[in-house]
Amino acid sequence: MELDRLEKRIRALQARKAARAATFKRVQGIDPTEHEAAVYHALHEDIAADAHTYYNLPGGRGSCKSSFVSLEIVDGIQKDPTGTGSAVVFRRWGSTLRESVFAQIQWAIDALGVSDLWSCTVSPMRCTYIPTGAQIIFRGLDDNSKIKSIKPAKGFFRWVWFEEFSELPGENFVRSVMQSVGRGGKPVVFRSFNPPVSLNNWANKFIQQPNEEALTLHTDYTQVPPEWLGEVFLNEAQRIQSLNPKVYDHEYLGIPTGSGGEIFTTLEVREIADEELEMQCYRYVGVDFGFASDPAAVVVLYYDRSTETIYFADEIYKRGLSNEALAAEIRAHGLDHVGETRKNPITGAETAPEQVIYCDCAEPKSIMDLRTYGLQARPCTKHPGCVNYRIKWLQKRTLVVDPRRTPNIYREFSQYEYDTDKDGNFLPSVPDRDNHTCDATAYSLDRLIFNKNEGA
């Protein structure tokens, strides 16, 4: 009886060993480059040769850089003979993980035809390679302190992926994260992102720093098979190219189009999650009046004083609006009140605090009209030199803009540049054109900008 049990155990162990060997042979025959654009094939060989530690992947929309990274991570874990190499995937905000990098890794697993070898769960968010137990862990960097104790179930983080790398606060922040996850062995680190518009953005400058351990590959959608992208994507790219070549160069070709003469060099162009705005406390609204040739521009933003960061949340940007119609638009956007509705303990009436709206003081009649239509409209400060003072104040703050939330704010702030003389030299004065949302932004923060305690 004891001998029979021993023989069964031996046969079971042999069967598991044979199954592992068959699985390893199977994944060794998988070629991820079949699903990678040809532009990435040399990079695949470089990774296989363990030639570099860091791989910088700036690129435009549709360049398939995220697809490449996800394939490399899944394939790398499967072909690790030791089974000790896991992966960690980061994005700035945890709320964006599931619909982006988590879905991307699942796509790679399915594309390689190995879904039966992986187990993916949302809570906790991770993908486990069943044959070895190696994991792909997903984390948002909302709270950097939570990263200090992060570790895989076994082994070390062989693969580290920073998706939307430019969303992160800066070089010191990235270094701190790497100190937490880069223990136990030599990692392969991917930094994928759409380059911010400004040449002076920290991420654009960071990847240009000399580093023998880093390899940079800039890609765009023209290097990807057209059938992978689809007719809708390609038609939209052509439409943007004909409509606004500069926006096309930035969004689709991934080129930082800021000339170095841009007025707002601290512009941070990225997705803003709803949860990120919900964390903010103070909302500000500003109005720049217009009608025919110039639009009426209303800017809604939040300002975090502790980090000196402005988050653009909403906008109104329309021509031909009467002051009555403008007031109706403002109310339709929910900008007439702020905060929760409160009940008066004496009268029982429910009210909500009214939103103060700062406007261009050059139009007192329009301000009076908005007040007549029930809005708390107030004039901004005006004195000699106030325009340049406002600009300088804004230049010292980080300006976070999401092109999908506020396309006109993005366009005006990203394209606002100093004028040049006949020799191409930048002039010190700021131009007074195509800056309606810039003005509205300055008006909204009027009481902060001219508060001596805030500092210029």
Helices 65-78 and 41-48 cross at an angle (nearest 10°) of 30
Q: What is the token pair recorded at 33?
A: 């480059």
H helices present in 182-322, as ranges: 202-206, 226-229, 231-243, 245-251, 274-278
User: On the CB side of 427, how many CA atoms lie within 13 Å of its CA?
Assistant: 8
164 is catalytic: yes
CA 198, CA 72: separation in Å to the nearest integer? Answer: 30
Q: What is the token pair recorded at 118?
A: 């992986």
First to last CA, the chain: 87
Please say whether the beta carbons of 125 and 150 come within 8 A.
no
Contacts of 252 (CB under 8 A, 6+ apart): 60, 61, 62, 220, 221, 237, 240, 241
Compute the chain's Rg from CA coordinates: 27
Q: How far is CA 203 from CA 191, 335, 401, in A?
A: 10, 34, 16
Single out the residue of 280, 281, 284 nearest to residue 300, CA to CA. Answer: 284
Q: What is the token pair recorded at 346?
A: 């004496």
Question: Percentage helix, strand, coil, to 5, in the chain?
Answer: 40, 20, 40
H helices present in 333-428, as ranges: 364-372, 386-395, 407-415
Catalytic residue among 164, 251, 276, 412: 164
Single out the residue of 87, 100, 187, 179 nearest to residue 137, CA to CA. Answer: 87
427: burial class by Cβ within 10 Å (0-12, 13-18, 19+)?
exposed
Single out the residue of 301, 282, 378 nearest to residue 339, CA to CA. Answer: 282
Catalytic residue set: 164
